[in-house]
Amino acid sequence: MIKPHGSDELNPLFVYDTEQRHALISEAESLPSLLLNSAAAANAVMLGGGYFNPLTGYMNLADALSTAETMHTTSGLFFPVPVLNLTEETGVAAGSRIALRDPNVEGNPVLAVMNVEAVEAVSDEQIDAMAEKIFRTLDPQHPGVATFKSLGKTLLSGPIQVLNFSYFQADFPDTFRTAVEIRNEIAEHGWEKVVAFQTRNPMHRAHEELCRMAMEDLGADGILIHMLLGKLKPGDIPADVRDAAIRKMVEVYFPANTVMITGYGFDMLYAGPREAVLHAVFRQNCGCTHLIVGRDHAGVGDYYGGFDAQTIFDEEVPDDALELEIYRADHTAYSKKLNKVVMMRDAPDHSKEDFVLLSGTAVREMLGKGIAPPPEFSRPEVAKILSDYYQTLDG
């Protein structure tokens, strides 16, 4: 199986030893506490699950600035975005040991225990420098920039030991998986070549066919549909609705035992090209050999060019940085001429009118009125689940 990023073996930071974990939970009750923000909590969950391999905790300021600027830590490790515990002024001192509490679960249980190696003040200029590199914009309307700049100016760094996976296991027991669990399942299937599909949205016909195309083109053994289960921007479809829609599509339209439906506990960054590279790191750590990178991957609004998330792998990612390879996808749509979904680049003789093209807004309006989008766009079983959701929304 493909090696994880940066090491021979996956090193998840979750404490699997039951005795040790119970001892840490007990110890945490007597430690000073820090209530995390959602971004830092999501980073802890991802560190716990092995997705951020080979990191051992939150980055310090030098590594954060270096990673944002060059996609490498000060020691030379390739990493596409800083992994931070940014917070407001805390009174926490360097050298202390603290309990990190979960902001997303009632009662704020302890999520992890941290050895604080450094507490550093981050200037406005440094925050802006990182945001500019990560998001390619400082526009406060960009949801990722707005979140990043609201986290605080105090950076706590050091190794952590993770004690649970926040609300993800309880809310998504059939879907949430760590990178460790996905690797194990891939090994159980005996799959060698595995294509990953990243999604924060329900999958329409074009997405479904894109997975099929990638699998056939690459001769893959299976596909990992890997959905983000964390915080999204207002207006995005909730994870439980997406999960139900994707499961129905796979159940009805894919051969048995060719698809793994999984999810991971991270908050969307909307960082476009940088996030696409981060998604590649995640999937290599899961044991996947390929990641589908499509048009405007991890984008939002019109902040990124349609294929910037592909060209970053050519222009900024060193050849030896990742073992995983990218499957480059164009915009896919149903061709009325050919009566099937195609990549638009493969149909040069088509005009716009030859495709079934619907905007997200148009689809939402149709579903909200209980009108099913055309079957060329959305499978009826999927449209039904989405329509039921949209009709529960006010207005």
Residues acting as catalytic residues:
200-201
Task: Give dist(CA 356, CA 345) in Å, integer.
Answer: 15
Cα separation, 367 vs 384, in Å, equals: 8
Q: Are 25 and 137 in contact (CB under 8 A)?
A: no
Q: How far is CA 156 from CA 117, 211, 228, in A?
A: 8, 40, 26
Residues 292 and 211: beta-carbon distance below 8 Å: yes
The C-alpha atoms of residue 168 and residue 267 are separated, in whole angstroms, by 12
Distance separating the N- and C-terminal Cα atoms of the chain: 50
Tell me the C-alpha distance between 236 and 192, whole Å.
Answer: 34
In contact, 94 and 143? CB cutoff 8 Å: no
Other CB atoms within 10 Å distance of the CB of residue 171? 17
- The phi and psi torsions of 311 (rounded to 5 degrees) equal -65, -25
3-state helix, strand, coil in the chain (%, to 5): 35, 20, 45
Tell whether omega for the bond before 375 is within 30 degrees of 0, i.e. cis: no
Please give the backbone phi and psi of residue 97, each rounded to the nearest 5 degrees, phi first: -120, 125
Tokens (6 digits) for 317? 């990612």
Instruction: Write down the residue that tokens 């589908």 correspond to.
Output: 292
Q: Which two tokens stand for residue 159?
A: 């190794």
How does strand 355-356 pair with strand 332-335? antiparallel
Location of structure tokens 């005795």:
19
How much is the CA Rg of the chain, to the nearest whole Å? 21
Distance CA 90, CA 67 (A): 25
Place of tokens 């007990």: 26
CA dist., res. 273 & res. 198, Å (int) = 14
